[in-house]
Amino acid sequence: MAEQQKSIFITGAGSGIGRATAQLFAERGWFVGLFDVNQQGLDETAASLPEGQRISMVFDVRDRAGWARAVEAFGQATNRRMHVLFNNAGVGKGGWLEEMPPEDIDLTIDVNLKGVINGAIAALPLLRETPGARIVNTASVAGVVGSPKMAVYCATKFGVRGLTESLDVEYGRYGIRVVSLMPWFVDTAILDGAPGDGSNFRIRDRLTEQKTPIYPVRMAAERAWDAAHGKDTHYMVGQAAERARFAARFFPGMLRNQLKRMMTDD
């Protein structure tokens, strides 16, 4: 890594928003650390970036020892600098709460919330050594308003939102900003809903049928760039996300009815 080059550590870099963000930051000259539990996806992302501009490693964000190894490898490659930690890894398991397998509930909580906490702790030493460093946590509009058939997922994203706001104050004493990315529905495999693809119910067809916006991953990556540089705490992805944030505050009943129509057959 070049002496003056900035660096970003990305979890969930093997697909979706993580991959698009890695590509965008690399295009703009950053050194990129790629981390994911999926070796094949990670290799595909790595192949799309200049070889001297990235490192990659497989690890599971639920694994604290894995975090320690990944952060150490990243620090060795970047002269102990981490300008941005992009806590992006997540799963989208859903369904009626009483019908969800216990292992899906545990996985969602452990990856989406505990994984983010693990990252914030593991990366702190490097972030403290890097002037102007920050953490960008991927939350969601599901962290603004609850939705049927997404109770556990929403609980984790509300948790990420609260964690972000708390750590922005706590880590402020080290000069570190902590912000969140809050996408609306983004065009990733999570919308396909097939078991093993991050969800166990299918919503893409329903969203298309109802003409609900689905935003490109490049838009989410651009907003991740804004989150890495801007002054706000939460960065919405797409106009629908902005409208949902407004409606959650001023017209919560209307928004709940809209989500019910989108996510259920009732």
- Helices 217-229 and 16-27 cross at an angle (nearest 10°) of 60
Residues 130-156, mean pLDDT to the nearest whole number: 91
Residue type, 175: G
Give pLDDT, residue 241.
74
Looking at residue 157, its pLDDT comes to 96
- Rounded distance, CA 40 to CA 138, Å? 22
Note the pLDDT of residue 185: 74
208-233 residues labelled b (16+ CB within 10 A) or e (exposed): eeeebebbebebbbbbbbbbbeeeee
Contact 212, 244 (CB under 8 A): no
The domains located in the chain, with CATH, are 7-263 (3.40.50.720)
Q: How far apart, in whole angstroms, are the C-alpha atoms of residue 188 and residue 95?
A: 18
Residue 117 pLDDT level (bands cut at 50, 70, 90): very high
Dump pLDDT digits (tens) for 67-99. 999 999 999 999 999 999 999 999 988 889 999
Please tell me the predicted confidence (pLDDT) of residue 195: 37
**What pLDDT score does 97 carry?**
94
Residue 67, judged by CB atoms within 10 A of its CB (0-12, 13-18, 19+), counts as buried
pLDDT at residue 198, rounded to an integer: 43
CA dihedral for 115, 117, 122, 125, sign (positive or negative)? positive
H-helix segments, 33-78: 39-47, 64-77
pLDDT band at 206 (very low <50, low <70, confident <90, very high): low
Positions marked active-site: 153
* Bigger pLDDT: 102 vs 92: 102
Q: Point out which residues pair with 58 in neighbouring strands.
A: 36
**Could you report the per-residue pLDDT of 164-190, keeping only the tens digit for each?**
999 999 999 999 999 999 987 776 666
Pairing of strands 54-58, 31-36: parallel
Cβ-proximal residues to 45 (8 Å cutoff; 6+ apart), any chain: 13, 14, 15, 18, 19, 22, 23, 34, 36, 56
Looking up tokens 């109802």 gives: 210
Name 36's Cβ contacts closer than 8 Å, sequence gap at least 6.
Answer: 11, 12, 13, 14, 15, 18, 42, 45, 58, 89
Neighbours of 50 (CB within 10 A): 10
